[in-house]
Amino acid sequence: MTINGHFIPEGMELTSSSWVVHRDASVWGVDVEEFRPERWTEASKETILEWEKCDMSFGYGSRVCLGQYIALMELYKAPFEFFKAYEPRFASKEVEKKCQFRNVGGLGYYSDFEICIKQR
């Protein structure tokens, strides 16, 4: 088999990085690095089907995470319950400005910030 001009011998195992796949501008658009959740409501059904094919959040194929549907249920429900009960905000404008996004081994998170949480 030949992929992009590279010969792949029989029996060779190939893999890909979900971090790289999830940042492919040819799939997700030129604004791939921007946090734009509304892209899912603005896109056509065909585009969304393509995105779902390229989503490797829980692995892919025979090695897919067995708990993905439970995790998705929790991921959909937890933020709703949190924002229904609480009102978070940055502790100050200075804290908001120094907030940084970090990526370690494909795990992205924000650091260097403080928030105040007020019960609704």
Q: Does residue 18 lie within any of the structural domains?
A: yes
Proportion of the chain above pLDDT 70, given as a percent = 98
End-to-end CA distance of the chain: 59
77: pLDDT confidence band, cut at 50, 70 and 90? very high
Q: Does residue 19 lie within any of the structural domains?
A: yes
pTM higher than 0.75: no
Q: How many domains does the chain have?
A: 1
90: pLDDT confidence band, cut at 50, 70 and 90? confident
Q: Does residue 112 lie within any of the structural domains?
A: no
Q: Which domain holds residue 38?
A: 1-58
Q: Counting every residue, how long is the chain?
A: 120
Q: Mind listing the pLDDT tens digit for each residue in 25-70?
A: 999 889 998 888 888 899 999 999 999 888 888 888 888 899 999 9
